[in-house]
Amino acid sequence: MAAVGKNITESQAIKRIDELSKELEHHNHLYYIKNSPEISDYEFDTLLNELKDIEKLYPELIKPDSPTQSVGGAVADGFNSVPHLVPMMSIDNISDEQGAYDFDGRVKRVLEITDDIVYIAEPKFDGVSASLTYKNGLLTQGATRGNGTVGEEITSNLKTIRTIPLRLKGNQKIPELIEIRGEVLYPIEAFKALNRELAEEGEPVFANPRNAASGAIRQLDSGITANRPLDFYAWGVGEVIGFEINLEQEIVDALRLWGFKVEDHIMKCANIDEAISYQKEIESARDNLPYEADGIVLKVNRKNYQRELGSTAKHPRWNIAYKFKPRQATTRINDITVQVGRVGLLTPVAELEPVKISGITIKRASLHTDDIIKDRDIRVGDTVLIQRAGDVIPEVVMPILDKRTGNEAEFTMPEKCPSCNTPVEREGSYYYCPNLSCPAQLKGRIKHLASRKSFDIEGLGEKIVEQLMQEGLIKDMADIFYLKKEDFVPLERFAEKSATNLEDEIEKSKKVSFERFINALSIRHVGERVAQILSQNFSSIDDLMNATDESLVDIHTIGEEIAKSIVHFFEQETNRELVAKMLASGIEIEHGEKTKISDKFADQSFVFTGSLQDMTRDEAQELVQNHGGRATSSVTKKTSYVVVGKDPGSKHDKAVSLGVEILTEEEFQKLVKSN
């Protein structure tokens, strides 16, 4: 805890309480609403503990809206608000053994006992808490934690997570009603793959798995959530009707029997000493866990003890979070450089004085955007706090202002690309180099073009590409397909045979599927999945090059930003010339045969909303496409039908207002089967 002098005056306390309250509310908003925290949990807890200590000295200064009195967070716009039957309160935390002994002592004093307290101990997930309501075993509602009392209704999104059962399983008695509490997580290995994919596509990466999970479950289109490899671990319950619970261990056992994923490392501890040993064991193994964990949670096992202990306005008194040591360090920023990605994204990177975190030497840390640098007031020469989470590129949390000497230099993004000197363009918080022949981009674009998911040219590695560029043999992506063995022989590492092999590989690659061809172009925001969708909705590259924003947005999962990027790419004459030059080299685009049953839905478009019972939304959309129709994501006057499942959203209301014909799932299936 932060130390607060006993001699702080009331006027000083009033001023400091105001400062801390404003700062904590700011960071609460960033963490819960914006999903973009500026400081670590450790720094936040330090500020909060300082405020707690001052309020202990001057309890008359505690305000009803103090950060110490609220659970934190709020409901975001775009989702319906739903109340939790039992509030999802936050958990108080400790950071050392003495804190654990103090907690155990408080529990015994309140209960007026001296016997050892039995605890249930489990890893503390660093994800996004959610509440699932089951009525007679059937999942009827899913919600975010929100402000603890009211959350955001995201049932359709949560239903897409495979580790969430739609109906409780097993022979265990099924409650009449139960709120299951748990954590939505982005597994670390999947998170690493996501960031690699985003980086390859020139997109900004996520700072940590929690942000990635939060963004995924709060999508307005559940189809996007379904494409994310999210996981869900159940860890507790809220309201329960028709099921008797006497021990916390019984909850753990019941959750497993009902079909939930429950942490394997949960342990029943006979006393606080065993709980402390458990914390040390899990902390030492944290890098081997498949998810991010920032501590353990201790829960008093007996439910009658829990009821007797009760809660404060903010925290239950029967549980505590015992945090791990933060994976953080302080070091100096020697310089801020700018990295140019494959599709031209300019990313500022802090060049650090080397420092070790969790046994790994850190030399560089992404600063993500110019806005983050300005908001955090990060300067060259600053001593900074850095952290590493999820084994991603470390990030700079904040500068240590007390360490400033006055010689630090403010950073500004360059007006011209550091690789090719082309004036940069700004798109929201991001800067891009528009020059497709920019050396930094070209190397990345050709590397991507040669990759397995594009033209799959074996032997065309980064070093060879660099040599070809240095020799002036390739100035754009199309030049690759005009190279012959005599171009390779003079280069380092090449002999007659290896040169012949590479020429053969290039020639073999000229037969390519439509989706791989699209993916190879490195259009901003268009990765492997979007390329596949585009290949299924356009009959030729000419059709795609002439597509409009409206026709693209009409395709399911293609949003306005992606559509705008595709149209902008092909509006550039140099890009059209590039495609023509590639095709002139002898490239043959192979179009896969589409499964087509009939043309009964030709020129008709369908929008699906709500939860379908007998098929998934993807299966329904595929049915439409197989009968010559289009499955789109937005309702317009041109929409032929809106198919509504359970709990339809705003698309149903829009269909009514526009006079679009509405079908139930049963009516849709009859339409499919009709002649």
Single out the residue of 96, 107, 292 nearest to residue 210, CA to CA.
292
Single out the residue of 139, 173, 169 nearest to residue 260, CA to CA.
169
Residue with tokens 């070790």: 356
Burial class (CB in 10 A: 0-12, 13-18, 19+), 30: middle
361 strand-pairing partners: 356
Residue 422's alpha-carbon distances to 17, 337, 427, in angstroms, are 50, 17, 16
Q: What single DSSP character describes residue 361?
A: E
Query: Do 300 and 197 meet the contact criterion of CB atoms below 8 Å apart?
Result: no
Catalytic residue among 52, 124, 261, 443: 124
Tokens for 441?
């981009």
User: How many angstroms separate the CA atoms of 182 and 217, rounded?
Assistant: 14
Tokens for 369?
């955007």
Q: SS3 for 207-262, per residue?
A: CCHHHHHHHHHCCCCHHHHHCCCCEEEEEEEEEEECCCCCEHHHHHHHHHHCCCCC
Query: Do 201 and 527 meet the contact criterion of CB atoms below 8 Å apart?
Result: yes
CB proximity list for 320: less than 8 A, separation 6 or greater: 91, 92, 93, 94, 99, 100, 103, 297, 298
Residue 407's alpha-carbon distances to 141, 352, 396, in angstroms, are 56, 17, 19
CB atoms within 10 A of CB 12: 12
Residue with tokens 């020799």: 471
Beta strands in 51-147 (DSSP E): 81-83, 93-94, 119-125, 128-135, 138-144
Complete DSSP assignment for 133-177: EEETTEEEEEEE-TTSSEEEB-HHHHTT-TTS-SB--SSSPPPSE
Query: Do 572 and 493 meet the contact criterion of CB atoms below 8 Å apart?
Result: no
User: How many angstroms separate the CA atoms of 213 and 209, rounded?
Assistant: 6
SS3 286: helix
Tokens for 577?
């010339």
Indicate if 15 belongs to the active site.
Answer: no
DSSP H or E stretch at residue 442: helix 439-449
User: How many angstroms separate the CA atoms of 101 and 116, rounded?
Assistant: 12
Single out the residue of 97, 99, 121, 71 nearest to residue 312, CA to CA.
71
User: How many angstroms separate the CA atoms of 441 and 435, rounded?
Assistant: 8
User: How many angstroms separate the CA atoms of 209 and 185, rounded?
Assistant: 7
User: How many angstroms separate the CA atoms of 260 and 254, rounded?
Assistant: 9
User: How many angstroms separate the CA atoms of 264 and 255, rounded?
Assistant: 12
Complete DSSP assignment for 381-421: T-EEEEE--TTSS-EEEEE-GGG--S--EE----SB-TTT-
Residues designated as active site = 124
